[in-house]
Amino acid sequence: MKDLFMYSLLVLSFSSLNGCYWENFSKTERVEPIRLTAPNSIETLIDEIKSATENGYRIRMTGSGHSHSDVAITEDILLRPIQLIDVLEIDRQRLYDPEETQLVRVESGITVRKLNSYLDSQGLALPNMGGYDGQTIVGATMTGTHGSGLDHGPMASQIVSLQIVVDDGRVLQLEPSNGITDPDNFPGVLEENTDINVELIQNDALFNATKISIGSMGIVYSVVLKTDKKFWLEEIRTLSTWEEVKAPGGFLDRLINGLPLDDTEVQPEYYELQYNPYKVGGERSILITKRYKSYEPLPIDTERGQPGTTMLSGLITLLEKPLIWIVDNFQFIAPILVEQSLKSQSDESYINVSYKVFNIGIVNYTEAYAMEMGFDLDESIAAIERTFELGEQLRDKGIVHSAPVSIRFVKAADELIAMQQGRDTMIIEFIMINGIKGDRELFNTYAQTLMEEFQARPHWGLDFKLLQGTEWASILFPKWEQWIQHYETLNPNGTFDGRVTDRLGISTSPR
């Protein structure tokens, strides 16, 4: 074991299984695999994969369980990454540029939280991240997790090299064609164990197929990330209205048309919106979040949002069950609760180191789940207004939102089945407290309608099994067939099949 804390986690994880079951954080997925284990090295990882292949079993790695879908699951051999958590050395003699100082190599099971702590100690930072830091870095990237701001792609775009174990136990090091590694100086062995051979493949399509591959092309051992220098963020949150945001010269009009978001020299690098699905007082409120980047240290704030917001978020987390009862039985109060949530977050200035601003805080621990859909940026206004209509239709059926709806913006991505593949993307996230009446119907209504009317793409970890079969996958993801070719190459025996590949109808050995 690598440290006492991780040992305790391991013991708790297994002792709570009572017959060897695993379920995700939101309890939307549960499985009782034949074998549930946590490899503690690449040697044991290779042995597990070789054994699974030889015995005709499927094998997958779970991440930290923060996907609400079936993306990680198999009934055969299920691996947990809770011991693959180390920062690894980079053999810089292999690189084209041995002096590159912002490359960091880590094992696949390291959490974003632990990675942030390490990077901070080295004067480095992730260029962007989502609003939660409990995910494993590879679990987050493999499903397409992202932050917000059109200067940045999904988190997978930060990966510049990865080492993956495929079904015969071979270790491949995958990079783009202009990768960081000099083939002439590559010794063909693993840095930590020179008895393990590693095959370097520098190929754009294969690399972009593997970075977001929903765990179906092999199991990643390590990644090399291109980081940034440590930076600080000033976050400004302003309450506005939908009419102002979409008007000529408003936030969305400027963003869609590539215009400066502020009438000042300094522009926000990160930005997002939250909205109330319902009008209150005749207007629909929108919370605009802008984050301004500084490499120079800034004074740290201790309080985010209006006074008492942090305490209020903690109370919501503790008092979820009464809140569910209130919303279910007094639905007229839902718009007011959402409105208050937006108002409480407004803030003239909140400053902290980058990763503490990206992380939305204690509300992450609420028993809630979410569904995300990605749209062509140019369709942002039409898509958002369609959600207003759907929200009212659902309310007429007695189904109401329990939280604001979030909107983020992500740069077009090269990864073949990324939500953002080939287009700058506006992403809408619908969040519901787990157990609110009609929550699944709400998700399904939005997802199905928006997919059919806008060809909106689901987040692989937050799709609630929206895609069934390959028809819609091939429509929504223009590089789908190319991705399938690489999937079949790296998964010839069905070793990395799982519930998600069965559902998509692409399993090499269907069940």
Would you write out the chain's pLDDT as a tens digit for each of its 511 residues? 334 334 333 433 443 333 588 998 888 889 999 999 999 999 999 999 999 999 999 999 998 888 888 999 999 999 999 999 999 999 999 999 999 999 999 999 999 999 999 999 999 999 999 999 999 999 999 999 999 999 999 999 999 999 999 999 999 999 999 999 999 999 999 999 999 999 999 999 999 999 999 999 999 999 999 999 999 999 999 999 999 999 999 999 999 999 999 999 999 999 999 999 999 999 999 999 999 999 999 999 888 887 755 544 544 554 556 677 677 777 888 899 899 999 999 999 999 999 999 998 777 667 788 999 999 999 999 999 999 999 999 999 999 998 999 999 999 999 999 999 999 999 999 998 888 899 999 999 999 999 999 999 999 999 889 999 999 999 999 999 999 999 999 999 999 999 999 999 999 988 8
Same domain, yes or no, for 111 and 171? yes
Same domain, yes or no, for 370 and 297? yes
Does some domain include residue 19?
yes
Same domain, yes or no, for 357 and 211? no
Domain that holds residue 477: 471-504
Same domain, yes or no, for 491 and 431? no
Same domain, yes or no, for 216 and 236? no
What secondary structure letter does DSSP report for 136?
Answer: B
The pLDDT assigned to 36 comes to: 96
The pLDDT assigned to 303 comes to: 85
Same domain, yes or no, for 277 and 149? no
Name 293's bridge partners: 233
d(CA 451, CA 497): 25
Decide which of 203, 229, 255 is a domain's last residue. Answer: 229
The pLDDT assigned to 433 comes to: 84
What three-state secondary structure class fits 232?
Answer: strand
Among residues 81, 79, 77, 143, the alpha carbon closest in space to that of 106 is found at 81
Same domain, yes or no, for 393 and 428? yes
Same domain, yes or no, for 291 and 395? yes
Same domain, yes or no, for 225 and 209? yes
Residues 190 and 199: beta-carbon distance below 8 Å:
no
Same domain, yes or no, for 64 and 146? no
The amino acid present at 22, given as its one-letter code, is W
Among residues 363, 331, 358, the alpha carbon closest in space to that of 344 is found at 363
Same domain, yes or no, for 173 and 251? no
The pLDDT assigned to 361 comes to: 78
Count other Cβ atoms within 10 Å, centred on residue 169. 17
Does some domain include residue 511?
no
